[in-house]
Amino acid sequence: MNKKITTRQIVITGLMLALMIVLQIVGNYLQFGPVNINISLVAVVLAAVLGGPLSGAIVGFFNGIMALLSPSTIAVFMPVSLVGTILACLLKCTLAGLVSGLAFNAIKKKNTILALIIASLLVPIINTGIFIIMALIFFRPILEANVTSGAFPNIWVFLLAGFIGWNFLIELLSTGVISPIVGGVVLRNEK
């Protein structure tokens, strides 16, 4: 099916890119442990919900670029694996935005509120899930160093409790609360 990109989708993508940049800069200063809290995921969800899967993927991709340029990413992950850092940053949020938009479109005709909630929760879940996979593949030395130091009993405890735990919960909570509210208001006002 040949589907045209609308002016509305271009405008939404541009607005969400601008919002994502602002939220990413603010998020660079919100840090628990070695990883920043990605409050800019809200813009990825809103792009996916309001502009569609392509818009979500585009904003997610640029969110990955911003994460790649983050001071903590440069300091912690790049020295361990440049290729892994690039793949992790670009892949995790791009796929999260794409899948979130696809899920929203699949559910919205039956229940818009449920579609908003699911799309909002999918972004941090996919983002973190892909990060976990990439950490196990590319950043194992970071994981093993924290186990060897005696700080954590094994890699999984460090990965889930020390490395990701609070960050994921805060991302899930902030994205899961803010995105459905803002998305719902915008969608209601469009009708």
Which regions in the chain score pLDDT beneath 50? Answer: 1
Name the amino acid, one letter, at 12.
I
- Could you give the C-alpha distances from 189 to 6, 16, 178, 183, 185, in angstroms and in order? 19, 17, 17, 10, 6
The DSSP element (H or E) to which 68 belongs, if any, is helix 53-68
Name the amino acid, one letter, at 126.
I
Residues 144 and 149: their CA atoms lie apart, in Å, by 8
Given a contact cutoff of 8 angstroms between Cβ atoms, the answer to whether 32 and 170 are in contact is: yes
pLDDT score of 1: 44
Torsion of CA 118, 123, 129, 135, to 10 degrees: -170
Name every residue whose Cβ is closer than 8 Å to that of residue 25 and which is 6 or more positions away in sequence.
Answer: none
pTM: 0.87
- Could you give the C-alpha distances from 133 to 31, 41, 64, 129, 141, in angstroms and in order? 21, 19, 16, 6, 14
* Helix boundaries (H) for 112-164: 112-138, 140-148, 155-157
Angle between the N-to-C axes of helices 53-68 and 7-27, in degrees from 0 to 180, rounded to the nearest 10: 30
pLDDT score of 33: 59
CA dihedral (157, 117, 34, 17) positive or negative: positive
Burial label for 82, CB within 10 Å (0-12, 13-18, 19+), is exposed
In the chain the domains, ranked by start, together with CATH numbers, are 7-190 (1.10.1760.20)
Task: Say how many CA atoms lie within 13 Å of 177 toward its Cβ.
Answer: 7
